[in-house]
Amino acid sequence: MENTKYVHGYSEREALRLNDQANTLDDIIHNDSIFPKDSLVLEAGCGVGAQTKIIATKNPDSNFVSIDLSEDSIREARRMIESLGITNVKLKQADIYKLPFEDETFDSVIICFVLEHLHNPIQALKELKRVLRKGGTMIAIEGDHGSTFFYPDSEQANMAINCQIQLQKQNGGNSNIGRQLYPMLKSTGLSEISVSPRMVYVDSSKPQLVEGFIKNTFTAMIEGISEEAVQRGIIDKATFEKGIKDLYRTAESDGVFCYTFFKGFGVKK
Ligand SMILES: C[S@@+](CC[C@H](N)C(=O)[O-])C[C@H]1O[C@@H](n2cnc3c(N)ncnc32)[C@H](O)[C@@H]1O
């Protein structure tokens, strides 16, 4: 089985961060995650269900099968979905590389913030394409840490972000994968591919994004790798801490923060 080490970790704190991320980015990344009535949709790598609850609620006339490798995440996602009274989602533990479904089972497939963690994202996309019916749509959403810029600029903040990029690379992933969505969807053999960049621009006139994105999504993610980055000798503790302080500094009244997500669509012919 594929090495499944996952840089962001499975902690309770990471579950909170993923939920903050999903709630904050709902409009930016899911405004067009709309499926035709009665669609059967596979959500691959649903984690604790942070995106699941958004797409399932937006598409009450579709049914979702949401899978993840982690039993713990599936259990947590099930608890959350039940507590919200959502009834159009089935959750199942499964590996994206070896899906327990027949060819052409699903009308659509959606995968969000997962390819960046995989050793072989194209193999995963091909397996997802296998279970997609002809004429069905694949949606892939990824970030790209290389798209981050902010004011005030800070060498240490950029170094701290680079630690995340390095760690993810060491674990076989790629946190700059957003820019590769188009070529990856093409290599998968999909047609009618289109990729749209979704920039999150934050200044203090958008207090919800200051809290939800700069602090609780992005900086929380970088802060979460502090110990591992120092232990692996990628950075010293003082530089990392200054970098985190400078990232929080961008959330002050004169600060600005930009990050771009990429959303790709492709059709199986
Ligand atoms: C960053 S989380 C994203 C979760 C969710 N899509 C979201 O946006 O909140 C990545 C997820 O991919 C899952 N994952 C990693 N490798 C997998 C594989 N081979 N098969 C299924 N899920 C996998 C992890 O367990 C984790 O839950």
Q: In this model, does residue 5 exceed pLDDT 80?
A: no
Give mean pLDDT, residues 15-24.
Answer: 81
Q: In this model, does residue 6 exceed pLDDT 90?
A: no
Task: Round to whole Å and give the CA distance between 50 and 178.
Answer: 20
Read off the pLDDT band of 27 (50, 70, 90). Answer: confident
β-bridge partners, 63: 40
**Would the CB of 221 count as within 6 Å of ligand 1?**
no
**Would the CB of 51 count as within 6 Å of ligand 1?**
yes
Q: Point out the ligand 1 atom lying closest to the alpha carbon of residue 2.
A: 19
Percent of the chain with pLDDT over 90: 90
Q: In this model, does residue 242 exceed pLDDT 90?
A: yes
69: CA distance to ligand 1 center in Å?
7
Site of tokens 């199942």: 92
Q: In this model, does residue 258 exceed pLDDT 90?
A: yes
**Residue 11 has what pLDDT?**
78
Strands 63-68, 191-203: parallel, antiparallel or unpaired by DSSP?
unpaired
**Would the CB of 182 count as within 6 Å of ligand 1?**
no
Strands 256-267, 149-151: parallel, antiparallel or unpaired by DSSP?
antiparallel
Give mean pLDDT, residues 102-111.
Answer: 98
Count how many domains the chain has: 1
For the stretch 30-39, pLDDT in tens is 999 999 999 9
For the stretch 184-193, pLDDT in tens is 999 999 999 9
More confident residue, 213 or 7: 213
Ligand 1 pocket test: pick from 28, 114, 217 the residue with the most ligand atoms within 8 Å of its Cβ: 114
3-state secondary structure the chain: CCCCCCCCCCCHHHHHHHHHHHHHHHHHHHCCCCCCCCCEEEEECCCCCCCHHHHHHHCCCCEEEEEECCHHHHHHHHHHHHHCCCCCEEEEECECCECCCCCCCEEEEEEECCHHHCCCHHHHHHHHHHCEEEEEEEEEEECCHHHCEEECCCHHHHHHHHHHHHHHHHCCCCCCHHHHHHHHHHHCCCEEEEEEEEEEEEECCCHHHHHHHHHHHHHHHHHCCHHHHHHCCCCCHHHHHHHHHHHHHCCCCCCEEEEEEEEEEEECC
**Residue of the CA atom closest to atom 1 of ligand 1:** 113
Give mean pLDDT, residues 159-163.
Answer: 98
Task: Round to whole Å and give the CA distance between 133 and 120.
Answer: 22
Give mean pLDDT, residues 71-95.
Answer: 97
Nearest of 36, 86, 40, 81 to residue 63 by alpha carbon: 40
Please check whether residue 2 lies inside any domain of the structure.
no
For the stretch 200-235, pLDDT in tens is 999 999 999 999 999 999 999 999 999 999 999 999
Please check whether residue 107 lies inside any domain of the structure.
yes
Other residues' Cβ atoms within 10 Å of the Cβ of residue 149: 13
Mean pLDDT of the chain: 95
Largest CA distance in the chain: 54
**Residue 21 has what pLDDT?**
81
242: CA distance to ligand 1 center in Å?
30
**Residue 12 has what pLDDT?**
81
**Would the CB of 42 count as within 6 Å of ligand 1?**
no
**Residue 23 has what pLDDT?**
80
Which domain covers residue 143, as residue numbers?
A: 12-267
45: CA distance to ligand 1 center in Å?
4
Task: Round to whole Å and give the CA distance between 157 and 136.
Answer: 42
46: CA distance to ligand 1 center in Å?
6
Nearest of 17, 244, 251 to residue 150 by alpha carbon: 251
- Extract the tokens encoding 128: 């997802």
Please check whether residue 159 lies inside any domain of the structure.
yes
Please check whether residue 1 lies inside any domain of the structure.
no
Please check whether residue 4 lies inside any domain of the structure.
no
**Residue 3 has what pLDDT?**
39
CATH number at residue 24: 3.40.50.150
**Would the CB of 2 count as within 6 Å of ligand 1?**
yes
Read off the pLDDT band of 19 (50, 70, 90). Answer: confident
Cis, bond preceding 60 (omega within 30 deg of 0): no
Sign of CA dihedral 216, 222, 223, 225: positive
Q: CB neighbours of 18 closer than 8 A, spacing ≥ 6?
A: 47, 48, 50
Please check whether residue 257 lies inside any domain of the structure.
yes
Please check whether residue 7 lies inside any domain of the structure.
no
More confident residue, 4 or 77: 77
Please check whether residue 173 lies inside any domain of the structure.
yes
Q: In this model, does residue 61 exceed pLDDT 60?
A: yes
**Residue 2 has what pLDDT?**
38
